[in-house]
Structure 1
Amino acid sequence: MSKRIVAIIIALVLVIGGIVVSSVGLFFDNSLKKTVTDSDGITESVQSGSDSSKKIVKLSVDGTIQDTGEENPFMGASGYNHQSFLKQLDKIKKDDKVKGVLLEINSPGGGTYESDEIHKKLEEIKAKNKKVYVQMKNMAASGGYYISTPADKIYAGSQTLTGSLGVIISSINYAELADNLGVKDDSVTSGKHKQIMNPMKDMSKEEKDIMQSIIDDSYKQFVKVIKDGRHMSESEVKKLADGRIYSAQQAKANGLIDEIGYEDDAIKDLRKQIKSDNAQIVTYDTSGGIWNIPLSATSKISSMLGIDNMSKYEALVKANKSPQPMYLYGE
């Protein structure tokens, strides 16, 4: 047996052993916490605090806000899952013991539709007399800011980037390249505007005006949620909403956030607002909790092989196969 084969076998043994140890550690770590799984498969874990009559749910939006469908359970629950997140918001709305929400955001934004879905559900949560706080991480731009606007208070770290208040429909025009290569589009359509933004055709002024009108409608909605959420005039919002990004310091000076601080600061403030210094801080898990160790191991293997990333990219490509309005920075 060659040294190369022996090295590969040793490496595989170490990897598998690491996964087993990690999974067992995860089991015992979660066993030490109080966990409850409801009929929807959402596991609630207590992170700290003893006052169970007043709970604060800590949620996270990490990644592009886009509905790429339900996660494959055999690939684990990594990354942002839109449907899972909406279920968590519904659970918060129904739980009378939940008095506050801390929404941690690390996102460049995403779809206009998905961002608006989250915004609507956060408004419904607030209508139940529950406090909603936001703590921005590295970035909370465009749609990441859109979903922040219902918050009673917005915190951002000193190095957070936010803003990018606007809408974009991305498209590539390779009509000239196709023409040079002798490639022709022989599509048959029912109307002259059916192929708006076809990358193999130049857009007419009329078509550009049509797409601009769609962008303008989404932009008006963005301006409205900022105006309502941040108690600004429309003219004040429009001065800020030109697509640029802001540092945390600039955002605070312009009234887009309330405080420069971190998770501990936001939780301390939120506990004060709900009048409970020992309010329980809880998190949700939709992956099956401590009984999902085999799937957790599968997820680790998939991650090491790069399969999970490939699946995410494939889902995003499918979701973006047609140009669509996006509250997105960095496209």
Structure 2
Amino acid sequence: MSKKRIIAIIIAIVIVVGGIVMSSISAFVTTMFNDSSSTAMDPFTEKIEKEGDSSKRIAHLTLNGEILEGTGGGLFGESGYNHESFLKQLDNVKKDDTIKGMLLTVNTPGGGTYPSDEIYEKIKEIKQKNKKVYVHMESMAASGGYYISAPADKIYAGPQSMTGSIGVIMSSVDYSELQKNLGIKQNVIKSGDHKDILSSSREMTSEERSILQSVLDDSFDRFVNIVKDGRDMPENKVRKLADGRIYSAQQAKSNGLIDEIGYEDKTIKALQKDIKSKDAEVFEYTEGGGFFSSFSDMKMSVSNFTDSFKDIKSVINNDTKTEPMYLYEG
């Protein structure tokens, strides 16, 4: 038996055994958490940032990290963003009648088209409740970060913020030459010519490229319309700006993608004035502490490790899970 085959068998055994162990741990922790949290009324507590009028409040939400579905970016990922938690916070803002405005601090290169659109729709629902929504951009609010910012009543950005990158991207890796050099062949049985359209084991055909481009064009058109409606901007101007490039805060203000340049305190003051309450209480949501929080953290850690394990397995197995992204790749 060749060394390559022995190594492949060892890797396969590690993956299978590791997958069983991690799945068992994840299931155990999930069960304990679900049973324990059934008595918890709300996973969030409110932390006051600025004392003031509690009948006219401003909810301060922060989106930091790549916009991904689920509860985190994985063991080896850089994102600490929790999509499920963030959507629940947006729901709380929508339902709470004492909240008259929302400040959304954004620091993200964007992310998945689907979770970005979920956030967009939640923000639209909040606005339909006659609540003001202001966005403050920190270091970066690009692509999906701009997508979710576009419906805001006002967009502020710091002097050194970067934004824009309006567009969609999809990419995959072609391992075919490497597999050829290693003497590895993949047997594919498929029901249609394009079932393995993003296979990493062969070159993409021109027809397949056209098919995928048509999918991206639909997502891009939606992005353009969202910017057009949110910024009250002619479509031809949006398309001219939407060539994928990023803009400085100064450029973005000049071309109409943001309203003002300033820091968070300036944004809050403007929002307080807009809701006609210069003394409005400002608060943020924090994860509830104690017993339930500990189980939540444990569940998230196991979930992140399992996701990372699956990512490694996916690379080894040459699986392709490429999807359209509203993401700035710098």
Q: Is the 8 A contact 2:52 2:279 kept in 1?
A: yes
Match of 1:67 in 2: 69
2:325 aligns with 326
- What secondary structure, in the 3-state scheme, does the structure 2 residue paired with 1:147 have? helix
In 1, are the aligned partners of 2:45 and 2:285 still within 8 Å (CA)? yes
Aligned mates of 2:142, 2:244 — CA distance in 1: 10
- Tell me, in whole angstroms, the C-alpha distance in 1 between the residues paired with 2:321 and 2:198: 9
Instruction: Show the 5 A alignment for 1:19-168.
Output: 39-69=41-71, 79-168=80-169
C-alpha displacement at 1:280, in angstroms? 0.6
| Unaligned residue ranges in structure 2 (runs of 5+) | 1-39
What does residue 22 of structure 1 align with?
Answer: none
Deviations 1:137-166 (A, max 9, x none): 000000000000010000000000111110
| Conserved 8 A contact 2:73-2:304 | no
Given the superposition, is the C-alpha separation of residues 71 and 173 from structure 1 closer, same or farther in structure 2, using an over 3 Å criterion? closer
The AA in structure 2 aligned to 1:326 is M
Alignment of 1:277-316 (within 5 A): 277-285=278-286, 287-289=287-289, 291=290, 295=294, 311=305, 314=308
Can you list the C-alpha shifts for 1:37-82, whole angstroms capped at 9, x where unaligned?
A: x82322112221220000100001000000134799xxxxx82100
Q: Distance in 1 between matches of 2:145 and 2:94?
A: 21
For residue 258 of structure 1, what is the amino acid of its counterpart? D
Percent identical among aligned pairs is: 54
Structure 1 residue 215 and structure 2 residue 216: aligned?
Answer: yes
Q: Pairwise mapping of residues 136-285 of structure 1 onto structure 2 (< 5 A)?
A: 136-285=137-286
Kindly indicate whether the alpha-carbon contact (under 8 Å) linking 1:70 and 1:83 is maintained by their aligned counterparts in 2.
no
- Mapped to 1, the partners of 2:90 and 2:160 lie a distance apart of 28
Structure 1 alignment gaps of length 5 or more = 1-37, 73-77, 300-306
The answer to whether the Cα contact below 8 Å between 1:68 and 1:315 also exists between their aligned partners in 2 is: no
RMSD: 3.0
Secondary structure in 2 matching 1:211: helix
TM-score using structure 2 length: 0.79
**Displacement, 1:254?**
0.5
Question: For residues 54 and 105 of structure 1, what CA distance do their matches in structure 2 show?
Answer: 23
Q: Count residues in correspondence.
A: 283
Asked if the contact 2:172–2:320 (Cα under 8 Å) also holds between the matched residues in 1, the reply is no
Answer whether contact 2:55 2:98 (CA < 8 A) is retained.
yes
What residue is the counterpart of 2:34 in the other structure? Answer: none
SS at 1:132 equivalent: strand
How far apart, in 2, do the equivalents of 1:216 and 1:271 lie?
A: 39
